[in-house]
Amino acid sequence: MAENNKKNGFFSKLKQGLSKTRTSFARNLEEMLVGERLISREFYDDLEELLISADLGPAFAVELIEEMKARAKRKELDNPDALMRVMKEYMLSILEPCDAPLQIPGKDLFTIMVVGVNGTGKTTTIGKIASRLRRDGRSVMLAAADTFRAAAVEQLEIWGKRADAPIIKHAEGSDPSAVVFDALRAAKSRGTNILLVDTAGRLHTKANLMEELKKIKRVMGREVTGAPHETLLVLDAVTGQNALLQAKMFNEKIGITGLVLTKLDGTAKGGIVVRIASEMKLPIRYIGIGEKEEDLRPFNSAEFVEALLSSE
């Protein structure tokens, strides 16, 4: 019962978090779903514009409208509820393959390298993940490999204390790979289950940043077989299409195994989640809808669609 209340509480918060998106998208959609305009050309043009403005993307808009037109010809779209049902089904067909919570097998050391540009909530996300894992009874260590921002190390230390997770750090300006090397050695010697590695995110030196991340990956792979076992990219949903561009850049340069989308409570363009899923086809591990630890949760596609398109 307590678990159900917890889930229902998060769903309510998810709906609240997506309220800006729902106000700008779902309510406008409902206003369009009236009368004879349902299958008119004007309706489809307006719908396409609405979908693109919500950052769902032109490809999604075109494909969804083609599906609607096909169903209209078969007289399957004879009322607004039928059209909304098609919308939900199509969104789910895109999101469900990306609905993949992070799985950490066995007791061997599992390494998670967390990347992303500054300002996405990367360090905070690491802290929240560490807290979740500690509550699940896992032993966790943090590696402060963002050595170019003193504030990042300080922030990670605060989260480490909250989660009761030790942190390995070096002096500001140190080689990030050296930090990771020491953290891996420490994690192995202490029998730690999970090592979370924070990294820098300096966009103004993209080439240098990517080379640095590649070096960290090489060091991890030499020290632990298969490491990093997970490369998580943290994206700020508020940035809309920029988040998609970042996902493409990081995936092309270093390879991404999972995504975290933060700040969904602060954007009117939550549809970017659907677009990223459609174009990247990468697992969405977590979504963030607030500042508290419990506001970072494993992604659930059915809950997300229901919260996004709910009329209540």
The string of pLDDT tens digits covering residues 189-220 is 999 999 999 999 866 457 788 999 999 999 99
| Residue range 248-281, pLDDT digits in tens | 999 999 999 999 999 988 777 788 999 999 999 9
Kindly state whether residues 71 and 128 are assigned to the same domain. no
The answer to whether 266 and 49 have CB atoms below 8 angstroms apart is no
End position of a domain, from candidates 72, 98, 124:
98
What is the reported pLDDT for 150? 81
- The structure's pTM equals 0.91
Query: Of 301 and 53, which is predicted with more confidence?
Result: 301
CB atoms within 10 A of CB 205: 12
The CATH number of residue 257's host domain is 3.40.50.300
Q: Are residues 124 and 152 in the same domain?
A: yes
Distance, CA of 57 to CA of 276 (rounded, Å):
9
Cα separation, 197 vs 180, whole angstroms: 7
Give the C-alpha separation, 147 to 170, whole Å: 7
* In a domain? residue 104: no
CA-nearest of 85, 49, 80 to 67 is 85
35 part of a folded domain: yes
Question: Listing from the earlier edge strand, what are the strands of the sheet with 296-298?
Answer: 167-168, 140-144, 194-198, 110-115, 230-236, 258-262, 284-288, 296-298
The residue type of 150 is A
- Helix (DSSP H) and strand (DSSP E) numbers for the chain: 13, 8
Whether residue 154 sits in one domain with residue 81: no
**In whole angstroms, what is the distance from residue 219 CA to residue 113 CA?**
12
From 41, 71, 98, the end of a domain falls on: 98
- Same domain for 18 and 84? yes
Q: Is residue 311 part of a domain?
A: no
DSSP-derived 3-state class of residue 131: helix
Query: 79 and 122 in one domain?
Result: no
Same domain (yes/no): 31, 149: no
Number of domains within the chain: 2
For residue 248, the enclosing domain spans: 110-300
